[in-house]
Amino acid sequence: MSPIPFFYTNQMLQYNMGQSHPMKPERLSMVKNLLQDYDLFDKELALYTPAPASVADIEAIHTPDFITALQSCESGQPRVDVRKYGFMTADNPLFEGIYSASMLYTGASLDAAQAVLDGEPAAVNISGGLHHAHAGRAAGFCVLNDCAAAIHRLRQKYRRVAYVDIDVHHGDGVQELFFSDPSVLTISIHENGRTLYPGTGSASEIGVNDGEGTSVNINIAAKASDEIWLQAWRSAAITILRDYNPEAIVLQMGADAHALDPLAHLMLTAQGWLKAVQDIINQGKPLVLLGGGGYNLATVTRMWTLATALVAGVELDNAVPQKSTFRKHEAFLRDVDEFLPSSSEYEYAAAKTRAFSVELEHNLREYYHIGRGSHNRIS
Ligand SMILES: [Zn+2]
């Protein structure tokens, strides 16, 4: 297997929303360093410095007035009111260099998409996956929608592209941009919007017009563990992907469904979540892997290191190498045990998630081979 392109530069750390903001840029360098400590840049991964996106690239996704507003934010002190574009909020504060930093993470996703177009089986940009950005508004720590830009680039060659989002939050920005487009299937598995930002992504959102049936939302109840999450994932996502039969896949691999993530309420382990990544790799399609959420520095670093190694075809030793500074955080990559809620919480999460799955199957069964047999019960 030839090395998998991994797009990274320390310049990415300039996407920095401040000391008190939950999204910490150092998670990116921690992943890159840990991959290096496992010696993956010798054979398995090829390190490339990404180029920033061009204005034409982002014009395909974002409105002209939003782009102008973002450019005016570059100094950190815009002369016009940019609040209506989602800036200057607690989630999306301004910082000096915000335009350049956003163009860089978006350019890295475009470079990863281009590598796949040029024949690589897969390519990775952990600084991307900023799925909440809308056409005309920054939101949820996201400024430019690099996921959509990467999909748009892949569509130059591929007639059908699937976007799969395993971040704990709904991939609302991406869904919205392709809601009526049958050439892009979006699948998002996320904690139900009643208990988590952004509140959208119910099973009833299935796309509109020609895109009807090509937006898929797998809802998970708070406190769900690996087993519940994987059951919902496998009963819908994999069947739908096979039926849709995309020519390429973009995987947004947000790591915030982990039990130790501070922003959400699911109880996954690194290795439970990794099974979904493996399922996507097993599809055998050209694959662009993007980052996303992940607010516990130690868990996001472990999960993206494991996922990157997996796509590069390597099984990593569970013990973090002795030379690695990551040992200050954790000595092992995988979680020791499953995180289990109390039995009443488990029963409730299982039943609620099962109800969400039944609703999804009902809404989409005319489009895919789901919900036609007996529904497997969890527990
Ligand atoms: Zn998230």
User: What are the tens digits of pLDDT across the range 287-341?
Assistant: 999 999 999 999 999 999 999 999 999 999 999 999 999 999 999 999 998 898 8
Q: What is the dihedral of CA 72, 85, 209, 250, to 10 degrees?
A: 70
Which runs of E-coded beta strand occur in the chain? Answer: 4-7, 45-48, 122-125, 161-165, 184-191, 215-220, 248-252, 287-290
Question: Residue 207 pLDDT more than 60?
Answer: yes
Report the chain's terminal Cα–Cα distance, integer Å: 40
Distance 346 CA to ligand 1 centre (A): 22
Per-residue pLDDT band for 373 (boundaries 50, 70, 90) equals: low
Res. 209: pLDDT tops 90: yes
Cα within 13 Å of Cα(11), Cβ side = 20
* Domain residue limits, the chain: 4-364
**How much distance in Å is there from the Cα of 242 to the middle of ligand 1?**
26
Decide: 293 and 330 in contact? Cβ < 8 Å: no
* Superfamily for the 4-364 domain: Histone deacetylase domain (3.40.800.20)
| Residue 23 to residue 92: CA distance in whole angstroms | 10
Ligand 1 centroid to Cα of residue 143, in Å, is: 14
**Given this model, what pLDDT does residue 372 score?**
66
Ligand 1 is an ion; its neighbours by CB within 5 Å are 167, 169, 254, 256, 293
Can you tell me the distance from the alpha carbon of 4 to that of 65, in angstroms, rounded to the nearest whole number? 37
Report the percentage of the chain scoring pLDDT > 70. 98
Query: pLDDT band at residue 79, thresholds of 50, 70 and 90?
Result: confident
Q: Does residue 379 surpass a pLDDT of 50?
A: no
Residues 218-240 pLDDT 10s: 999 999 999 999 999 999 999 99
Q: How far is the CA of 193 from the centre of ligand 1 (A)?
A: 12
pLDDT computed for residue 340 by the predictor: 87
* Bridge partner list, 66: none
Residues 6+ apart with CB under 8 A from 284: none
What residues are annotated to the active site?
132
Residues 137-180 pLDDT 10s: 999 999 999 999 999 999 999 999 999 999 999 999 999 999 99
By CB neighbour count within 10 A (0-12 exposed, 13-18 middle, 19+ buried), where does 348 fall?
A: middle
What distance in angstroms lies between residue 138's CA and the mean position of ligand 1's atoms? Answer: 15
Q: Residue 377 above 80 pLDDT? A: no
Question: Which tens digit of pLDDT belongs to each residue from 46-61?
Answer: 999 999 999 999 999 9
Residue 78 has pLDDT above 50, yes or no: yes
Q: How far is the CA of 2 from the centre of ligand 1 (A)?
A: 31
Task: State the helix-helix crossing angle for 270-282 and 226-233, rounded to 10 degrees.
Answer: 20
Per 3-state DSSP, what percentage of the chain is helix, strand, and coil (rounded to 5)?
A: 40, 15, 50
pLDDT tens-place string over residues 244-253 = 999 999 999 9
